[in-house]
Amino acid sequence: MKKIKIFEYDCMLFFLTQGFSLISLNIYTKNVKTDAYLIPIIGTIIGIIPLLLFTKIKEKNSKLNINSLNIKIFGKIFGNIINTIFIILAFIIGAYIFFILTNFISVEYLYKTPLNFISFAFALPTIYILTKNISIISRSIVILIFIEIILFITSSLGLFGQINTHELFPIFQNNISEFFKTVFLHVSFILTPLFFLNIFSKNEIQNSKNLKKHTIIAYLIGNIVFFLTIFFNISILGIELIEVYQYPEYEVLKFANIAGFINNLEPALAIYWMINLFSFIVICFYYSKKSILQITKFKNTNKFNIFFSCTVLIICLLSNNIFKQFSITNLFIVISFIFICIIFFLWIIKNSN
Amino acid sequence: MKILKKIIVLFIIFMLTGCFDYKELNNLAIITKMAIDKNGDEFEVSFSIENTKSNTESNIIYTAAGKSISEAINNIQLTLPKKIYTGHLSIIIINEELAKNNLNQLINYLIKSKEYSQNFYLALSKDKSSKETINEISNLETKLSKNILSDINNEITFSDFLKTLIKPGIDPVLPVITIKDNTIDVSSTLALFNNYKLVAFSNENQSKGINLIYNKTKEMIIPIKSDNKNIATIKLSNINTKTKIKNNTIININIKENYTIKEINYEIKKQTINEIKNKTKNEIKKLIQEGIEISKNNDIDIFGFGNMIYKNNASYFNKIKDTWGTEFKKINPNIKINLITDDNLQQTTIKENNNS
């Protein structure tokens, strides 16, 4: 059994918290206007309870990953049905984020290039990395996190001087129920992808003694970055301009200015979003790959890799056509999160029995 | 599996070379200024293109007309041997007719066009067409080797303009470029808008007042008349304006500035300094009130007092939002001016004391 390092696990957790950050700003500002920057603060506090619950179950069943645990608790038939649902969920979320990635590149960089061509270009490295084993994937993610840190710090330094606190008001002008609905949506955006990390049992992580501590720290860092993204956007662009642009996260980078002479950095700094989404997609598809292998007990890995690569390629190419017409609603993510919570709840009941 | 890997690597080689859809710098027409005129039913777009050959004039103007802005730009492209590149665009100048009737169309076009950086400046050309204006600017810049646009006092980028257009309780302004007898005036007039329509132009004093409230003026010269013959010229520097709101309706404008007597044609005494100081304060107040007056006369809030009320108490502003034009007229901001003596003036005083 190949093990991953705890730091690699933390990096994966960080990327999973960022998956929906590129689309969440528009959704939050549409729902709660200026209060959008308060959503990650409240959401982080509320979200820590289910996160601790997830970690506790993982620690209790240290030898079993999610698929084995489902089979153990719900039996072979029901367990496999639930596992299949989770695999489909991982494919749908992965494909949706892939669509967001290609659409983002198409809108902001390659507006004259066909979307399918961009999809194909990004599907190839995704497929290639998925043919490798987990130690290579996790090491790649660690390299990406260092690039990510440099880009985020550069963006923050460039944007810090442009903050206009006047734009952060008025607050609490919306319906309180709308505010908490959006908080719940944020919790779903953060915690639904984190569920895919359960593909690693506790024993598959090196030095997993401090797993709870590491999980909480990575979760908090992910949420702080999420908050800062929304904070910079609202305080610099203002909610009126945010509503005008499709990707305000890219537009705000046009204001980045370091020491008065380093500017026009947005094409380079926006690579941050591409790394975020790419890593997220890889983890989602890896979850599906490992789960299918575990359920089907496929022995010929080469043949399986070809089959899985073709599936991912088809999904990636179809994602543009499907999600252009049927965009995933927020409700889908919320329902997925509720479904995950129900499964966890049933685990707890069955475990206590 | 090895064959699959080879195929993938082969594809990556072709994709990552950068040869696909490449553009050489020599094949790009780099646009630095753009002028858009609305004449009757047609839009006339002019581009000032940076000339890459050093032995001829630095800018060349290309013009074409069309039923829409996109069509006019496309028509320019048909006459140009190079590909239009707007990534280095520094300013778009529009004419009065466009500002009165088709601003909405221009904004819509610019938001949707990803080729534009959105950090370029916007200005309005008065009396002459914007095509003539960029032509004059290009000629003068070649002669003087100077960027004339850096003289614009109230420079407004496209994103700033867009913000003021869509925010509640604030109306936008644009700097006006006027050309008279081969001189370009970029700071004495401002164009005032109500939503997407040009409604008025401010005169020099009103523009000074508006820029003071905007905190865009950093230095200013004010002549103070003591009587019919005697004039003292005051230089104001480090001007800093802060506008604050209190109890939803009280607007306080606090101006802090250094002042120096630059020139004086009469004998200075201790009491005359106070007199000059008071007269300077009154003169600044007068400028600000003139700026506010033109805004009130046109039922528009170019200072964003309404937006300040909205930020402070949104529910209160939402109640008066529809009648804000008339509510705004009732607002009389408290203007507080704090003049700080410069060393220069103290020296004058010391000299005067020594003499007496």
Domain of B215, CATH number, reads 3.30.300.210
pLDDT score of B348:
54
Residue A158 has pLDDT above 50, yes or no: yes
Residue B271 has pLDDT above 90, yes or no: no
In terms of Cα–Cα distance, which of A37, A20, A34, A101 is closest to A337? A20
The C-alpha atoms of residue B92 and residue B76 are separated, in whole angstroms, by 16
Express as a percent the part of chain B with pLDDT over 90: 36
Closest residue of A to B308, CA-based?
A166
Closest residue of B to A124, CA-based?
B8
Does A1 map to a domain? no
* CB-CB neighbors (< 8 A) of B162 in chain A: 241, 244
Q: Which one of A170, A251, A309 has the shortest CB-CB distance to B4?
A: A309
Residue B332 has pLDDT above 50, yes or no: yes
Amino acid letter, B53: K
Q: What is the sign of the dihedral through the CA atoms of A304, A309, A314 and A316? A: positive
- Are the Cβ atoms of A254 and B1 closer than 8 angstroms? no
Closest residue of B to A127, CA-based?
B8
- Are the Cβ atoms of A306 and B4 closer than 8 angstroms? yes
Residue carrying the six token digits 């997609």: A281
The C-alpha atoms of residue A193 and residue A20 are separated, in whole angstroms, by 9
pLDDT score of A44:
95
Residue B350 has pLDDT above 50, yes or no: no
Please tell me the distance in Å from A109's CA to the nearest CA on chain B.
9
* CB-CB neighbors (< 8 A) of A170 in chain B: 310-314
Count: domains in chain A = 1
Please tell me the distance in Å from B305's CA to the nearest CA on chain A.
13
Does B238 map to a domain? yes
pLDDT score of B10:
77
- Are the Cβ atoms of B117 and A264 closer than 8 angstroms? yes
Q: What is the 3-state secondary structure (H, E, C) of chain B?
A: CHHHHHHHHHHHHHHCCCCCCCCCHHHEEEEEEEEEEEECCEEEEEEEEECCCCCCCCEEEEEEEECCHHHHHHHHHHHCCCEEECCCCCEEEEEHHHHHHCHHHHHHHHHHCCCCCCCCEEEEEECCCHHHHHHHHHHHHHHHCCCHHHHCCCCCEHHHHHHHHHCCCCCCEEEEEEEECCEEECCCCEEEEECCEEEEECCHHHHHHHHHHCCCCCCEEEEEECCCCCEEEEEEEEEEEEEEEECCCEEEEEEEEEEEEEEECCCCCHHHHHHHHHHHHHHHHHHHHHHHHHHHHCCCCCCCHHHHHHHHCHHHHHHHHHHHHHHHHHCCCEEEEEEEECHHHHHHHHHHHHHC
Q: Tally Cβ neighbours within 10 Å of residue B198.
A: 19
The C-alpha atoms of residue A79 and residue B303 are separated, in whole angstroms, by 65
* CB-CB neighbors (< 8 A) of A305 in chain B: 1
**Do the Cβ atoms of B193 and B171 come closer than 8 Å?**
yes
Candidates A116, A173, A235, A308, partner chain B, best to mutate (most B CBs within 10 A):
A173
Domain boundary among B201, B229, B261: B201
pLDDT score of B55:
60
- Are the Cβ atoms of B163 and A238 closer than 8 angstroms? yes
Domain boundary among B180, B201, B222: B201
Arithmetic mean of pLDDT, B183-188 = 81
B248 and B108 housed in the same domain: no
**Do the Cβ atoms of A251 and A237 come closer than 8 Å?**
yes
| Cα B228 to Cα A200, B199, B232, B276, B279, distances in angstroms | 90, 37, 12, 15, 15
Which bin fits B241, alpha (ψ -120 to 50), beta or left (φ > 0)? Answer: beta
Long-range CB pairs of B338-343, under 8 A, 24+ apart, other chains included: B338/B254, B338/B255, B338/B256, B338/B257, B339/B257, B339/B258, B339/B259, B339/B277, B339/B280, B339/B281, B340/B256, B340/B257, B340/B258, B340/B259, B341/B258, B341/B259, B342/B237, B342/B258, B342/B259, B342/B260
pLDDT score of B146:
62
Interface residues on A facing B, Cβ-Cβ cutoff 8 A: 107-108, 111-113, 121, 124-125, 127-128, 131, 166, 169-170, 173, 238, 240-241, 244, 251, 254, 264, 302, 305-306, 309
Arithmetic mean of pLDDT, A239-261 = 89
In terms of Cα–Cα distance, which of A333, A319, A254, A326 is closest to A100? A319
Range of the domain at A125: 6-352
pLDDT: is B210 or B227 the higher one? Answer: B210
Q: Which one of B5, B162, B311 has the shortest CB-CB distance to A241?
A: B162
Chain A, chain B: beta-carbon pairs less than 8 Å apart: 49
B197 and B211 housed in the same domain: no
pLDDT band at A191 (very low <50, low <70, confident <90, very high): very high
Closest residue of B to A112, CA-based?
B21
- Are the Cβ atoms of B159 and A241 closer than 8 angstroms? yes
DSSP state of A262: B
Does B17 map to a domain? no
For chain A, what is the mean pLDDT?
91
Please tell me the distance in Å from B167's CA to the nearest CA on chain A.
6
Using DSSP's 3-state secondary structure scheme, residue A333 falls into helix
Candidates B2, B19, B166, partner chain A, best to mutate (most A CBs within 10 A):
B166
- Are the Cβ atoms of B167 and A240 closer than 8 angstroms? yes
* CB-CB neighbors (< 8 A) of A103 in chain B: none
pLDDT score of B356:
43
Q: What is the pLDDT of residues B49-94, one digit of tens each?
A: 877 666 666 678 899 999 999 999 999 999 988 899 988 888 999 9
Candidates A111, A174, A235, A244, partner chain B, best to mutate (most B CBs within 10 A):
A244
- Are the Cβ atoms of B117 and A254 closer than 8 angstroms? yes
Q: Which one of A112, A124, A238 has the shortest CB-CB distance to B167?
A: A238
Arithmetic mean of pLDDT, B120-133 = 91
Residue A351 has pLDDT above 80, yes or no: no
Count: domains in chain B = 2
Please list, in sequence order, all residues whose beta carbon lies within 8 angstroms of the beta carbon of residue A166, skipping any fewer than 6 positions away: B311
Does B250 map to a domain? yes
Q: Tally Cβ neighbours within 10 Å of residue B330.
A: 8
Does B293 map to a domain? yes
Residue B306 has pLDDT above 60, yes or no: yes
pLDDT band at A96 (very low <50, low <70, confident <90, very high): very high
Domain boundary among B149, B184, B201: B201
* CB-CB neighbors (< 8 A) of A256 in chain B: none
Please list, in sequence order, all residues whose beta carbon lies within 8 angstroms of the beta carbon of residue A223, skipping any fewer than 6 positions away: A17, A40, A43, A44, A47, A190
Express as a percent the part of chain A with pLDDT over 90: 71
- Are the Cβ atoms of A107 and B15 closer than 8 angstroms? no
On the CB side of B340, how many CA atoms lie within 13 Å of its CA? 9
In chain A, alpha helices (H): 6-18, 21-32, 39-60, 66-108, 115-130, 134-160, 176-194, 211-244, 248-252, 266-269, 271-296, 301-325, 330-352
* CB-CB neighbors (< 8 A) of A107 in chain B: 114
B157 and B305 housed in the same domain: no
pLDDT score of A19:
92
pLDDT score of B57:
65
Does A288 map to a domain? yes
Please tell me the distance in Å from A68's CA to the nearest CA on chain B.
29
* CB-CB neighbors (< 8 A) of B11 in chain A: 124
**Do the Cβ atoms of B65 and B43 come closer than 8 Å?**
yes
For chain B, what is the mean pLDDT?
84
For the ranges A83-92, A250-259, B5-14, B345-354, the lowest mean pLDDT is seen at B345-354
Interface residues on B facing A, Cβ-Cβ cutoff 8 A: 1, 4-5, 8, 11-12, 15, 21, 111, 114, 117-119, 159, 162-163, 166-167, 310-315
Please tell me the distance in Å from B246's CA to the nearest CA on chain A.
15
Using DSSP's 3-state secondary structure scheme, residue A185 falls into helix
Does B182 map to a domain? yes
First and final C-alpha spacing in chain B: 102
**Do the Cβ atoms of B85 and B29 come closer than 8 Å?**
yes
* CB-CB neighbors (< 8 A) of A251 in chain B: 118
pLDDT score of B25:
81
Q: What is the pLDDT of residues A299-329, one digit of tens each?
A: 888 899 999 999 999 999 999 888 887 777 7
Closest residue of B to A238, CA-based?
B163
Does B281 map to a domain? yes
| Both tokens assigned to A213 | 């501590």
Does B179 map to a domain? yes
Q: φ, ψ for residue A321 (rounded to 5)? A: -70, -35
Please tell me the distance in Å from B143's CA to the nearest CA on chain A.
27
Please list, in sequence order, all residues whose beta carbon lies within 8 angstroms of the beta carbon of residue B79, skipping any fewer than 6 positions away: B62, B64
Range of the domain at B212: 203-356
Strand B59-66 and strand B42-50: the pairing is antiparallel
The C-alpha atoms of residue A333 and residue A146 are separated, in whole angstroms, by 29
Q: What is the pLDDT of residues A53-90, one digit of tens each?
A: 888 888 888 888 899 999 988 899 999 999 999 999 99
Does B11 map to a domain? no
B181 and B230 housed in the same domain: no
Q: What is the pLDDT of residues A159-174, one digit of tens each?
A: 999 999 999 989 888 8
The C-alpha atoms of residue B352 and residue B356 are separated, in whole angstroms, by 6
Q: φ, ψ for residue B180 (rounded to 5)? A: -135, 125
Does A111 map to a domain? yes
B31 and B148 housed in the same domain: yes
B181 and B280 housed in the same domain: no
Residue B347 has pLDDT above 90, yes or no: no
Q: φ, ψ for residue A327 (rounded to 5)? A: -70, 140
Complex prediction ipTM: 0.81
Closest residue of A to B13, CA-based?
A121
Q: Which one of B21, B117, B311 has the shortest CB-CB distance to A170?
A: B311
Arithmetic mean of pLDDT, A106-116 = 86
| Cα B81 to Cα A47, B26, B77, distances in angstroms | 59, 11, 8
B313 and B215 housed in the same domain: yes
